[in-house]
Structure 1
Amino acid sequence: MSVDDLPSRKVSGKVGRPHYVVGARGIKIIEELSARGCHLTTIAKALRMSVDAFKACRARQPEVEEAYQRGLGTEHDALVSNLRLAANAGNVVANIFLLKARHAYREGEPLEVNVSVNAGGVLVVPADMTVEEYLARKAEAGEIDPMPPMRDVTPAPRSLIPEPIEHLPEAPMPDPAPRRTPSGTRVTRGD
């Protein structure tokens, strides 16, 4: 086997540390294994390198990353095809998943909403309108007062300097531990 037939080989550059280079055979291995759903660790092992070295190759050699992405695309298409066959065969769960995943279907209210937070709380607005349009629609329907009473929203003054220690409540002092008599000491009581 010649050097050109190897999936990868370690080369030493003029500057820096030696690094791996993936050849044409390695590109085919990467595409095939990623299409099978193999983990990066498995692909790196097939190329006879560490996962970190494989990640570095992906960053250094665009053709390596392209082969990996082509393999993922092949796997994706196969999985969607299998799911499609199951859905066509009457699998309700597969039908629901495809509808949600491929067509952004959501039950009930859409998840995409405009949220406006102010001092009064949270206002949830449908995604297809602005906050102003929503408020105007609710005012026309008589559901909200178009001119709510103004209130004083100035915050109470607060000092950022911590309170002096003199103003803090005193913590209770723990009971002192009973004093032990050193060993070898005689204690006598005077009457």
Structure 2
Amino acid sequence: MARPRKQLPANGLDILREGAAKGLSQPRLARSLGMGVDAFRRILDESPQAREVMEEARAVEHDELHGILMSLARGTPAEYDAAGNVIRAEQPRQLRAAEILWKTRHGYREQGEPPGASATAGVQIIMPAQVSLDQLQSLMPPSLTLPHPSLTHR
């Protein structure tokens, strides 16, 4: 007799929502729900409700991280009270945070082709101007032949 399929516990959606919003990986989420990774992935595949909770929680995490990066990239001026005392020190702009935002939000890549671009190759053959057909044929491997003389340069 086969083992019964794992299901989310009664509070499983709450555990999933909280853990995914904190950025837990799928193996850690599965462990917090008392199941293996394969069972957890099966539940995500089969349960639209669990999948939706996971996507919403990941969106919360995404927005929070984006906000933090944006704050770091912009920096914040110092704040003072009415007497001129510093309440909060200035936070200078962090260029690395701005660079990360630029690359991820606007598709900048340091190397490789941009997404959607196809790799194509071109071949250019440069030959000396004055070579007779016989000389050229003698330089080529026997398996290759020159085009018909009527197709060559006159």
TM-score tier by shorter-chain length is 0.5 to 0.7
The alignment yields a C-alpha RMSD, in angstroms, of 3.3
2:27 aligns with 41
- 2:98 aligned with 1:95: yes
> Compared with structure 1, are the counterparts of its residues 16 and 66 closer, same or farther at alpha carbon in structure 2 (3 Å cutoff)?
farther
Structure exhibiting the larger radius of gyration computed from Cα positions: 1
> Compared with structure 1, are the counterparts of its residues 105 and 45 closer, same or farther at alpha carbon in structure 2 (3 Å cutoff)?
closer
> Compared with structure 1, are the counterparts of its residues 50 and 105 closer, same or farther at alpha carbon in structure 2 (3 Å cutoff)?
closer
1:81 aligns with 67
Structure 1 residue runs of 5 or longer lacking an equivalent are: 1-14, 122-150, 158-191
Supply the distance in 1 between the matched residues of 2:45 and 2:15 (Cα, whole angstroms): 17
Supply the distance in 1 between the matched residues of 2:107 and 2:70 (Cα, whole angstroms): 16
- 2:108 aligned with 1:105: yes
The one-letter code sitting in structure 2 at the alignment partner of 1:34 is A
TM-score after normalising by structure 2: 0.59
More strand by share: 1
Find 1:156's aligned residue among 133, 143, 149.
Answer: 143
Deviations 1:17-51 (A, max 9, x none): 41122256211110110110112222112211122
Number of aligned residue pairs:
113
- Over the matched positions of the two proteins, sequence identity in percent amounts to 29
Q: Which has the higher contact order (CA 8 A, sep 6+)?
A: 2
> Compared with structure 1, are the counterparts of its residues 63 and 16 closer, same or farther at alpha carbon in structure 2 (3 Å cutoff)?
farther
Structure 2 residue runs of 5 or longer lacking an equivalent are: 76-92, 126-135, 145-154
> Compared with structure 1, are the counterparts of its residues 39 and 115 closer, same or farther at alpha carbon in structure 2 (3 Å cutoff)?
closer
Are 2:27 and 2:37, in contact at CA under 8 Å, matched by a contact in 1?
yes
More helix by share: 2
